[in-house]
Amino acid sequence: MTTISVAGTDAAASVPVTAAGSSREAGARRSAPSWAWLGLVPFAAYVVLFLAVPTILAIGSGFFADDGSFTWTNVSALADPVVLTTFANSAGLSLLTAVVGALVGALVCYALLGMNPEGAVRSMVDAASGVLAQFGGVMLAFAFIATIGIQGVLKLFLQDAFGIDIYANGTWLYELPGLILPYIYFQIPLMVITFMPALAALKPQWSEANLTLGGTRASFWLRIGIPVLAPSFLASLLLLFANAFSSYATAAALASQGSQIVPLQIRTALTSETVLGRENLAGALALGMILIVGVVMGLYSLIQRRAARWQS
């Protein structure tokens, strides 16, 4: 009895000693300074210098005249019919290319769904989408000019071989309609990148349960697949809209004359003669763009958060 009692006493006494030691070690680890946040310094500096500061300057300049005095004149120009038409053109172009890019990109994702994720075709499409989604600007504009421009290879071939002149009704490539094809060119790969993870996250058990309960392939998509994927699809659509709405370089290289969309209108306000009292009109236009893109990306964040619930 004595041995058991002593052993029991020693065991009972050793527990709080061990727990106390663990508590002291944990407290020491918590009190030790953590330098993990230093890894965020380069990214934070990049965000501040190239996102926060330009945004603040763009917004602030729209409310001030050249002499530094506060004015509403620049912001009031947002109600000008010409400026409203420019915003409408940008919104229409962005919405059209976003819808076409989202639908075609979703079909591409559906076609890839039945392929081996590690296969050659799937890997090639993923790699090509990652590259082509960023293939914009002057390079993309030059590619279209060299292909279907006034002296483009395809344009001359169609004209010489079949007598088809694609510019019979005007040089549309260098006007607002000419931006549709280049924008769709990088919208589709972006849709593949953003929507494919959501489509691949559909669980096979859902399809099996649907078939077990007497459902069909069509009923699966109508009652399960499409409702589940709808938030992800809508979020990707909003992302494509914001991507097209803020694009500048491709439009600037193609539509060198005129200011059909907001980014080109900002360029005109910065480089051309301005109306007296509206010297900082570019800042007001940038403010309008920031508000629209901010609202779109806010909706994107909310929808994407909801879509992530079933993907996790």
Is 60 domain-assigned? no
Contact call for residues 263 and 248 (beta carbons, < 8 A) = yes
Measured between alpha carbons, how far is residue 170 from residues 105, 150, 163, 165, 167 in Å?
30, 10, 16, 10, 5
Q: What is the pLDDT of residue 56?
A: 84
Which residue bears the tokens 């403010």?
Answer: 287
Indicate the residue type of 199.
L
Is 35 domain-assigned? no
Q: How many CA atoms lie within 13 A of 49 on its CB side?
A: 6
In whole angstroms, what is the distance from residue 98 CA to residue 90 CA?
A: 12
Q: What is the pLDDT of residue 99?
A: 96
State the burial class of residue 235 (Cβ atoms within 10 Å of its Cβ: 0-12, 13-18, 19+).
buried
Q: What is the pLDDT of residue 3?
A: 47
Is 205 domain-assigned? yes
Q: What is the pLDDT of residue 150?
A: 87
**Domain total of the chain:** 1
Residue count (the chain): 312
Is 86 domain-assigned? yes
In whole angstroms, what is the distance from residue 310 CA to residue 312 CA?
A: 6
Residue ranges in the chain whose pLDDT is less than 50: 1-17, 276
Is 184 domain-assigned? yes
Is 204 domain-assigned? yes
CATH number of the domain to which 224 belongs: 1.10.3720.10
Q: Which domain holds residue 249?
A: 78-311
Q: What is the pLDDT of residue 108?
A: 93
Is 54 domain-assigned? no
Is 152 domain-assigned? yes
Q: What is the pLDDT of residue 188?
A: 95
Residue 223 is classified by DSSP as I
